[in-house]
Chain A
Amino acid sequence: MSTLEIRGLEVSVITEKGPIEILRGVDLTIASGETHAIMGPNGSGKSTLAYSIAGHPKYTITGGSVTLDGVDVLAMKVDERAKAGLFLAMQYPVEIPGVSVSNFLRTAATALRGEAPKLRTWVGEVKEAMNALAMDPSFSERNVNEGFSGGEKKRHEIMQLELLKPKIAILDETDSGLDVDALRIVSEGVNRAKAANDMGVLLITHYTRILRYIKPDFVHVFANGRVVEEGGPELADKLEEKGYAEYVGN
């Protein structure tokens, strides 16, 4: 049983013109087995929240705390956060020229498990994970995300989720750019990982479609860098119908 606690998180990006405040005091608690959906307008800071938890160097934490089971996440290096059990499926996965998927996955698994996985079982494990996400085996010889279509990149993210078995996963618009079948396949992957490891999920999305497959326990409305409303699954339907007008203060 794990708990990710975000308290009063304030984050800025440093630009040439000085710092710009993006997160203005975010409070969220995600426990094992729970699924939280975050919905909110473009530019409201959802990805900033995701990246800040994962430790992207672009973001400067100016206040608040993030802890995993009471341990300070913000003091950890990026790889240490992954080793502590956090995973971020990125909105825009990064291409790594010259590094094959199979080499990448094995290096990551070795780092996270503390020893190189046994070659024979590992090959089977990867095959199974790729198969489950309907990814052609040839992907393992391709370079990480290089030339992958938008949807293929997202499948690759969820395939890693299944292989790397985090305690808490943050999915940043994993549903964007997926066709109908891929949406189902990817959602099933998330649900499998959740069931297998009692994983907690923070799912950032613009659409209720994915929430039919991955049922949220809580829905949070995000606007202007903070959580402005919380509710159950019914809140998502209301947002889809009415939009964010009442939250963005006009």
Chain B
Amino acid sequence: MSLLATNFLTPTGREEAWRFTPLNRLAGLHDGSVEVAQRESLVMKSPATQGVSFTRVSRELLAPESFSDDVIIQRAHAEVLNVAHLSVAAGCEITTPIHLGRDHHGPAGNELSRVRISVGARSHATVVMENSGEAVLGEDVEIVLEPGSSLKFVSLQEWSAKSVHAARHHAIVGKDATFQSVTVTVGGSLVRLLPTVEFAGPGASAELLGIYFATAGQHFEHRIHVDHGVPNAKSRVNYKGALAGNEAHTVWIGDVYIRAAAEGTDTYELNRNLLLSDGARADSVPNLEIETGEIIGAGHASTTGRFDDEQLFYLMSRGIAMDEARRLVVRGFFAEIIGNIKDEEIQERLMSRIDDELLKAGH
């Protein structure tokens, strides 16, 4: 166990970035009172592949590529000794998805973690990061896409009920590189993710997709930030969430920043929430800041609604019982995003998890 450095400003909850987060449920990740074991739970589950390496690198050799103003990420930068480094060499077409997961056999305890995913120039890969089990985890994942590369990054938060997870998934997308993330949060007590993107060269594009389903007492927060600092980059954000049960709380923040240099920017962000019961709360705050008028498009939309009676009626008029009709509608709501995870086993696992969440919600 080690005590964490204390020279960080502890959030009070009044800060814009923390005003939605129940700080008392962060297990001390934010104020340094958490006791952290030297634990490195992230492992590669896929067999070795030519051009792909997964190693632990001392932090002296792999300093952070980016700054974060998030105190938990700053602590990770300050404290973590070894960085988990997944590297795809340049010019590689990796057709089989690379699976990362959590090893629960190692020493138990809370964890701060740093991860680097590097995708070499003109390489193409899919990385699936599966988070499950019980954990208190603060983690910074930096994803660096070299020019002309592409990465699909699937991150699954299927934590068990008590887990606390605060993380940044920061992509630095190079010239003509294409980044797609699919972020799924369906388990845990408190999950607070910062899916952020900065563009490092023109012609870069990022698509951030996500789903979340919070039931009674769960707090799931996704704070997206897309920084358009170079010309002719494209971003798309589409997050869909469902909530059911007392004190189920979700937060979606979509900050898109178009700097003066970012002429030719094309961006659109969307968040849709399905409120399945009373007592649940969905906060949704899209936010665009634009410093140049020379753009292709910038837009956002946010909706929060309940079950569509017309849809349920249509299904039920064909003999489908209420519960089954709701199940179909909710699965359908998420299908658009889950369809992007081109792995049938994971798709079906998530869909049945969604069915379970719906059942838990008492329908």
Contact = CB atoms under 8 A, between A and B. Distances in A.
Contacts of B322: 77, 79
Contacts of B316: 55, 77-79, 82
Interface residues of B, number: 24
B318 A94 contact: no
Interface in A38-89: 54-58, 77-79, 81-83, 87-88
Interface-centre pick from B311, B318, B320 (highest chain A CB count, 10 A): B318
B332 A78 contact: no
Contacts of B313: 54-57, 78, 94
A96 interface: yes
B321 A97 contact: no
B319 A82 contact: yes
Contact of A103 (B317, B318, B325, B328): B328
Contacts of A82: 316-319
Interface string B27-64: 00000000000000000000000000000000000000
A96 B318 contact: no
Interface stretch (A14-22, A107-115, A120-128, A227-235): A107-115
Given A93-B314, A94-B311, A99 B319 contact: no
A143 B334 CA distance: 13
A160 interface: yes
Nearest to A166: B319
B328 A104 contact: yes
Contact of A108 (B308, B311, B319): B319
B319 A98 contact: no
A129 interface: no
Contact of B318 (A57, A58, A97, A160): A160
A86 to B, nearest CB: 8
Contact of A96 (B309, B317, B332): B332
A96 B319 contact: no
Nearest to A111: B319
A164 interface: yes
B335 interface: yes
Contacts of A144: 314
A153 B211 CA distance: 30
A179 to B, nearest CB: 24
Contacts of A57: 309, 313
B331 A112 contact: no
Nearest to B316: A78
B347 to A, nearest CB: 12
B338 to A, nearest CB: 9
30 contacts: A54-B317, A56-B313, A57-B309, A57-B313, A78-B313, A79-B316, A79-B317, A79-B321, A81-B317, A83-B319, A88-B317, A90-B314, A93-B314, A94-B310, A94-B313, A94-B314, A96-B328, A97-B336, A98-B334, A98-B335, A99-B329, A99-B335, A104-B328, A107-B324, A108-B315, A111-B320, A111-B321, A160-B318, A164-B318, A164-B319
